[in-house]
Every structure is written in C-alpha cells, then in structure tokens.
Amino acid sequence: MAVSGRDRERVRAHAEGRCEYCRMANEWEPFFPYHVEHIVPRQHHGSDKLPNLALSCHHCNLVKGPNLTSIDPDTGIVTELFHPRRQIWNEHFRLEGDLISGITDVGRTTVFLMRMNAPHRVELRAANPDK
C-alpha cells in the first residue's frame, strides 16, 4: 500500500512547509523538495496512515533513515527519537540563536542523530530570520 496523494497534502498542510524535526522551511531550500516520511518505517511495521507520516527535509529524512532510537550523547543510554505525532516540539527542543538544543533525552538524542546543528544547517537558520 502507498501513501495517497490526499494524505501527502494533509501532511504538508499540517507541517506548514516546515520539516517536523528540525523546523527548516522548505522555501529556504528550494532545490530540495521535502518528503512525506514514515515516522516508524515500513520495515518496522509502520503504516501508511496519517498518524505515522511527517514532513521531513531531505537532510533529516536521509540521516534518520529507519532509525527509531539512538544514543543520548549526555547519558549514553539508548533513547527513542522525537515522534512528531505523539510529542510536542517545544517540549523537547529549544531554538537558541541559530542552534537547536535538546532539552530532554529525546530532544538531545534527536539533535545528535540528525545532526541538526551541522554547519550548513546553522548557516541556513542564520540566513533566514523567519525561524
């Protein structure tokens, strides 16, 4: 089964053109269309239904891949990644200038795995005052 065009449009509308992980706006990267991705990948029995779909920039989608967890860089403990349908972004992350800080174990782990503060990502945030 594939994700329907209608569901793809719903995901894009819900995300308001921003990656649901790093909050980058698609308009900041016009040559890289954002993806409707499976939060829980199909290989882990994730469904094609709306509660399992999120808008993701090419960077987050590529780095996340099929991962559901990673290692919290502060504690060394295996921790789940941020789930944009079950969790609220502001409860796990904080934007500090042009950097994203994880304020929970889930936030730290997601920032670490997805390399949200890679130099080119920070430069994009700095160049776009509409954060």
Tokens encoding 58: 């090419």
Place of tokens 């819900």: 14
Q: How far apart (Å, rounded) are the C-alpha atoms in residues 20 and 43?
A: 21
Whole-model pTM: value is 0.92
Q: Is residue 77 over pLDDT 70?
A: yes
pLDDT of residue 113: 97
pLDDT of residue 5: 87
pLDDT of residue 4: 85
Domain ranges of the chain: 5-127
Q: What is the mean predicted confidence (pLDDT) over 37-52?
A: 93
